[in-house]
Chains A and B, each alone.
Chain A
Amino acid sequence: GAVVSQHPSWVICKSGTSVKIECRSLDFQATTMFWYRQFPKQSLMLMATSNEGSKATYEQGVEKDKFLINHASLTLSTLTVTSAHPEDSSFYICSAPVPGRLVEQYFGPGTRLTVT
Chain B
Amino acid sequence: AQSVTQPDIHITVSEGASLELRCNYSYGATPYLFWYVQSPGQGLQLLLKYFSGDTLVQGIKGFEAEFKRSQSSFNLRKPSVHWSDAAEYFCAVGAGTGANNLFFGTGTRLTVIP
Q: A42-B106, A43-B90, A44-B90 are in contact. Are A32 and B41 (CB under 8 A)?
A: no
Given contacts A43-B105, A93-B43, whether A103 and B100 have CB atoms under 8 Å apart is: yes
The answer to whether A41 touches B51, judged by C-beta atoms less than 8 angstroms apart, is no
Question: With the chains together, A109 CA to B41 CA distance in Å?
Answer: 6
Q: A34 in the interface, Cβ–Cβ < 8 Å?
A: yes
A103:B44 contact, CB within 8 angstroms: no
Interface residues of B in 42-74 (CB under 8 A from A): 42-46, 49, 51
Q: Could you say which of B46, B94, B100 contacts A32, with CB atoms under 8 Å apart? A: B100
If the complex has contacts A41-B9, A44-B90, are A105 and B102 also in contact, measured as CB distance less than 8 A?
yes
Closest Cβ of chain B: how far from A70's Cβ, in Å? 20
Q: Which residue of B lies closest to A44 (CB)?
A: B104
Query: Which residues of B sit under 8 angstroms from A93, Cβ to Cβ?
Result: 43-44
Q: Is the CB of B90 within 8 A of A102?
A: no
Chain A residues with Cβ below 8 Å from B51 are 102-103
A52 CB → nearest B CB, Å: 15
A106 CA to B42 CA, complexed, in Å: 11
**Do A102 and B99 touch (CB < 8 A)?**
yes
Partner of A103, one of B4, B41, B98, B105: B98
Q: Which of B79-114 contact A (CB under 8 A)?
A: 90, 94, 98-107
Name which of A4, A97, A102 has the most chain B CB atoms within 10 A of its CB.
Answer: A102
A-B CB contact pairs (8 Å), 26 listed: A2-B43, A9-B41, A32-B100, A41-B9, A42-B106, A43-B4, A43-B103, A43-B105, A44-B44, A45-B104, A46-B102, A46-B103, A93-B43, A95-B44, A102-B98, A102-B99, A103-B49, A103-B100, A104-B46, A104-B49, A105-B102, A106-B43, A107-B36, A108-B43, A109-B42, A110-B43
Measured CB to CB, the residues of A under 8 A from B are 2, 4, 9, 32, 34, 41-46, 49, 93, 95, 97, 102-110
| In the A-B complex, the 5 residue pairs with the closest CB atoms | A107-B44, A43-B104, A107-B43, A103-B99, A44-B104
B interface, CB within 8 angstroms of A: 4, 9, 32, 36, 41-46, 49, 51, 90, 94, 98-107
